[in-house]
Structure 1
């Protein structure tokens, strides 16, 4: 019995199919079990074999990739990497792909078919993703849908009142939809929230706008030197670390360039380290679904410095990597399902505000 990770390629270009088959053939633990020209051919292959991972193009005949992705995730969820040349040109496509359940989105490379070479700088990243996602069983979409509680009673935060609590959240694969489910339930005047969500820089502004259009609470892409205010969620830009510094009675956003930390820019560890140093017990830390271990050590530092810390549970994660690492370090005071996180955050913030 083979233990190889099985991958299905769905792309209307036979040349791209061949190039991807060549890329994956270099890895002895990955096997391409099918290459489909469109969604209908893919369905026929799926009747015969269940791949561990799907590599999916967007622009295809008969049915576009996003429509297929939405149907797939609602019925038979399989980790799917959306792989398209349209993503950089139209970031909204990437955001929609993540909303529909893609575990990752990537630009399609420029390929020299004559010499069988690719300009795909993310080739190693793609193979690493396939290995990680190939060992994950996605929860059904129904399991990710939150049974929303009764409307949360707003926390009474005055416009000029000192900020006593700041919530810091880190997430990666699967986090775009999970974050939406959390933010949808928070009242408009909730304490400020700083978010690091691993995604390309082209997407973060569009993602923030999408959340702002969807949620009651105000959501924006973080800007350097702006004051942190209640009722606002700040999304880290995709090419800068998100930190904060004390400024009078409040805090100011400080965006930092520089190298990747824990394999990422923005890094969850950088945000959590900043919260530990600047906020101490005034912080609440939450680490959510994602691959890797970014944020685990930072969450532990937050806990040591007096913050209350949370981790999303395995059953409700698309990828349990980041929360698992944090829990293993003893960094989480509490482990919660996705459906419980909003109420837990609300209760914690309310208790801190009363002190």
Structure 2
């Protein structure tokens, strides 16, 4: 049970499916940091509930009869800006709508777990509860409340995917490459950073915690808004100036050094630091394959994914940067990286693009970080 000093986060579940509402209620109630304030079968029922009491977080389906979830979300943001976590199906329409929901102000978009698959339901439960706690933090939930963390099973490290770097000798000089990790609030943060980059920006590899089926739509959204080219990562894809790849949901992204260029590897494997894709996996691969040729950046997000292996990048000679607390939606991942001694510099979000271009310029001129 949640302690009296740390009241449980009140969640309003809005979903037109009775079986989905039952499943989501069970998931939320399994976490001692969360409580179900109410469930609603449609937007109008949710609105009636909110006339008498407001939740801390709304868990919202988008495909509903009458007023759809996206319209309801926009009304919430205009009238009562409450943190909203979108929980949607893995259809093309669902992924596009989820990205639109992030544009409209949703904190997170996650995949609704398959009810008949025990493994998917278990993994989905972890992601849903993590997302709800992170969303509550964006509204200023107490540290005591957020410290309650339901973490079933062992927490694995990047050792499960690839061995630690040896640091026996510096990596030979190559073209610069940038690796970025983000979670809650990262979709907006990445959009702001990438839209400020020129077409000749250095190659960039991104891990944004997001489900499979959503990352393609997210990459298309970024590509339409940016001067750089953005695509969902494919196994073996070559990186180069002006090219950005976004990790495919539910797959780890690794940087590999090949003849004349960096390439990326897209692969499965266990969850690392409670995530797949994991920022730690990308950062470790960068420390191993690129060393000082790479820059590591950690943006807004809950948890500690990325902190351990950003420290490895710094040890390998990489410049390392964290988003500062004032500009973060959730100052979790950056804080953990700073406390781990992994961060050389903390910057506000609007300074990140300039830092990336300065790193590329200095690296190409042969200057040290």
* Match of residue 131, structure 2, among 129, 132, 139: 129
Match of 2:352 among 328, 341, 346: 341
- Contact between 1:78 and 1:138, CA under 8 Å: does it hold in 2? no
Q: Which runs of 5+ in 2 are unaligned?
A: 142-172
| Structure 2 match to 1:244 | 255
Shift of 1:204: 1.8
Partner of residue 79, structure 1: 83
Tell me, in whole angstroms, the C-alpha distance in 2 between the residues paired with 1:27 and 1:183.
Answer: 36
Q: Does structure 2 conserve the Cα–Cα contact (< 8 Å) formed by 1:136 and 1:319?
A: yes
| Cα pair distance change 1:330/1:30, threshold 3 Å | same
Is 1:310 paired with 2:311? Answer: no
In structure 1, which of residues 171, 184, 195 is the aligned counterpart of residue 182 of structure 2? 171
- Indicate which of 36, 43, 47 corresponds to 1:39: 43
Q: Name the structure 2 match of 1:120.
A: 121
Contact 2:229 2:244 in 1 (8 A): yes
**Corresponding residue for residue 275 of structure 1:** 286
Q: Distance in 2 between matches of 1:287 and 1:48?
A: 40
Cα contact 2:280–2:305 (8 A) shared by 1: yes
Cα distance in 1 for residues equivalent to 2:19 and 2:345: 49
Deviation, structure 1 residue 265: 2.0
Moved more, 235-244 or 328-337: 235-244
Deviations 1:31-77 (A, max 9, x none): 32233344344344334333221111212344221122234335543
- Contact 2:137–2:330 (CA under 8 A) maintained in structure 1: no
Distance (whole Å) between structure 2 residues aligned to residue 238 and residue 18 of structure 1 = 26
Counterpart selection for 2:97 from 88, 93, 100: 93
CA distance in 1, matches of 2:92, 2:202: 33
* Aligned residue in 2 for 1:51: 55
Does 2:8 correspond to 1:7? no
Contact 1:79/1:133, CA 8 A, preserved across alignment = yes
Equivalent pairs, count: 329
Tell me whether 1:69 sits opposite 2:67 in the alignment.
no
Displacement of 1:120 in angstroms is 3.5
What does residue 157 of structure 2 align with?
none
Ranges in structure 1 where 5+ consecutive residues have no aligned partner = 140-161
8 Å CA contact retained: 1:289, 1:323: yes
TM-score, with normalisation over the residues of structure 2?
Answer: 0.79
Change in CA separation of 1:56 and 1:90 when aligned onto 2, cut-off 3 Å: closer
**Counterpart selection for 1:261 from 272, 275, 288:** 272
1:187 to 198, 210, 218: 198
CA RMSD of aligned residues (A): 2.8
